[in-house]
Structure 1
């Protein structure tokens, strides 16, 4: 089978500038390419060649301007057995016109069927043309089905994952040295408790709530450090008004709140290894933040918010806690402080998260789900 994977026009594959979709494609690609001939369509990047080839796959990079039209032209010239489009339902009609015989699988990673993003008529035509619609969470699937009930039989939740081999959990013999290196770089003693958040800096990501949560943490844990990894956007460190407001807010806590700026994806795992608790402080209806899978792979207990799909991989999983009162810094802080006080509990939650990553939330399983979808398509 010849399969085309069409990324978005925002960031390149592989994810040298980060990006959840780009990370997803890069993670499943070796497994898919072991069974099919795969072509990935991505945008160009000054640090990447126009084309890459590997065992069983090729990456074709095209300029971001008019990306969908250029991809459609490439698809028309090829003979693909399946076209897997990521997070761009508005492109489905263009792609179908270019390759009308190829079944289309659409992966939805955000609320892309919101009427403010895609008019109902276009959404219905898109859903009619797609063979399957894969979503990153039940939250996203139910949002689509609620607006377009006829699409329900085509919907399937495929949870994402991470590579457990890329993360060193705190109980590993190498963890202590990694923690010492990261603590030295950040400027505090390695024995200080560390709370980690990895995310773009945005009001909807809730870093302002998490910083204020330190008011509930520091009285009982005066050496605790909050490390915020991320920037306004992917690929570089930028400080907008919100980022600067976080810097001012952090200054009130002395050296207990640190903002690292952008960190390349390959350099993030040591931050997980060097931490004690992972927090996702989302204030919006998050589709399902992929950082949950990274935290699980690293063996960290998770504190997340009951927003969107986040709770789907924590609630009842034994790998962390869900904060219902997500706007309240004290509620968030009390959950975090309890984990810092109860190290055995934190370790138990972290070990369960690591087991979930090894058994379920990993790229091998994700790719297996995709291969099963492809095998079930018409004409496969």
Structure 2
């Protein structure tokens, strides 16, 4: 089967620093390329040529910029191709579906959504979103939670939407050497530093957990913020609380696996709906138990008292403090969770498993459509 994947216009594939959508595109494409002929169209970047091949995936790059400009170049390139694709996947850009379908009316078009962002205000109103979704032949949601949210908002898509979990490179994200217990218990936060990700909740939780244990607690924070002054605000909060916190800034995804090996556990204190939460499976694959909000698709990944701890009252720092202290005090629990986390990543959340699942859905659809 010949599959074309159309990436969004903002970040190139492969991403230079980070971008969960672009990370997922290349990882899934590389695994799909073991069974199919896969081409990715992405935006240009000064570091990349107009064409390259990575892991058996052909990557074509066209000028980016505004979504409309990028889409124009994508359609122009697509129109010039002599290859007839069997299926086109559009990632996270519902606006692209109708123009692509108009150009290629006889090719199935799948819209792969990784959040509610691009079917919501201010990106588009519900009527426009419903129209865009109606033009897709298939819709993939990266979690059962996102699938249910989409069906609730747009009931007419219930017959064409499927769940397709994301995954992790289990070779690169693997446990490091055993950590000595003499140093501080090191927590890790990975992600955008914006209010909805809950970093203030975590910083307050560390202050409250520290009084429950003799062992020092340290947090490593890897990520950037698009909000002017927000990181300075978080650093002021850290100083006022008197806790140990290291802000690494942006860590390229090509090196982020090394940061997981510096930690004892990952904390994901998201305060709003998370469709999937890629950092959680990366942590699990790295042999780290996860302490996370019971929020959206996170509960499909993190299983309470199996491979991590889920926090129900996740708006309260005290709830995270209790979970942190419990993990620190109960070594048997800690070891059981981290071992199971790695096993679950290998069995359920590898990119191979994700690609196999997506391949089955696409193959069945294309065969039935012929």
Structure 2 contact 91–111 (Cα < 8 Å) conserved: yes
- Are 1:68 and 2:60 matched, yes or no? no
Structure 2: distance between partners of 1:138 and 1:257: 34
Is 2:248 the partner of 1:228? no
Aligned residues: 361
Q: How far 1:129 sits from its partner (Å)?
A: 2.2
**Which residue in the other structure is 1:149 paired with?**
155
Do residues 163 (structure 1) and 169 (structure 2) align? yes
Provide the TM-score with structure 2 as the length reference.
0.92
After superposition, the C-alpha distances for 1:126-183 in whole angstroms (9 at most, x for unaligned) are 333212111011221111111221211111111111011112315xxxx25xx69xxx
What are the within-5 Å matches in structure 2 for residues 114-263 of structure 1? Answer: 114=120, 116-170=122-176, 175-176=177-178, 191-219=183-211, 220-233=213-226, 240-254=228-242, 256-263=244-251
Gaps of 5+ in 1: 181-188, 234-238
TM-score where L is the length of structure 1: 0.90
Moved runs in structure 1, 4+ residues, more than 4 A? none
Please state whether the residue corresponding to 2:77 is helix, strand or coil: helix
SS in 1 for 2:296: coil
Q: What's the Cα RMSD here?
A: 2.0
State the shift of 1:87 in Å: 0.6
Equivalent of 2:293 in 287, 299, 305:
305
C-alpha displacement of 1:255: 6.2
What per-residue deviation string (whole Å, max 9, x for no partner) do you get for residues 166-224 of structure 1? 12315xxxx25xx69xxxxxxxx972210111111101101111011112222214421
1:43-79, Cα deviation, whole Å (9 max, x unpaired): 1122222210246421111222211221122222232
Query: Alignment partner for residue 265 of structure 1, among 253, 256, 265?
Result: 253
- 1:293 alignment counterpart: 281
Write out per-residue CA displacement over residues 18-46 of structure 1, whole angstroms, 9 at most, x where no aligned residue.
Answer: 11111111212222112222110111122
Match of 2:106 in 1: 101
Q: Write the distance in 2 (CA, Å) between the matches of 1:19 and 1:337.
A: 32
Give the whole-Å Cα distance in 1 for the aligned partners of 2:154 and 2:185.
47
Instruction: Decide whether the 8 Å contact of 1:299 with 1:354 is kept in 2.
Output: yes
Q: Deviations for 1:238-289, whole angstroms, at most 9, x for unmatched residues? A: x722111001111235561111111111211122122111100111112121
Counterpart-to-counterpart distance in 2, 1:56 and 1:273: 29
CA distance in 1, matches of 2:148, 2:184: 42
Counterpart contact for 1:202–1:242, Cα < 8 Å = yes
Q: Secondary structure at the match of 1:283?
A: coil
Distance 1:320 1:85, change over 3 A: same
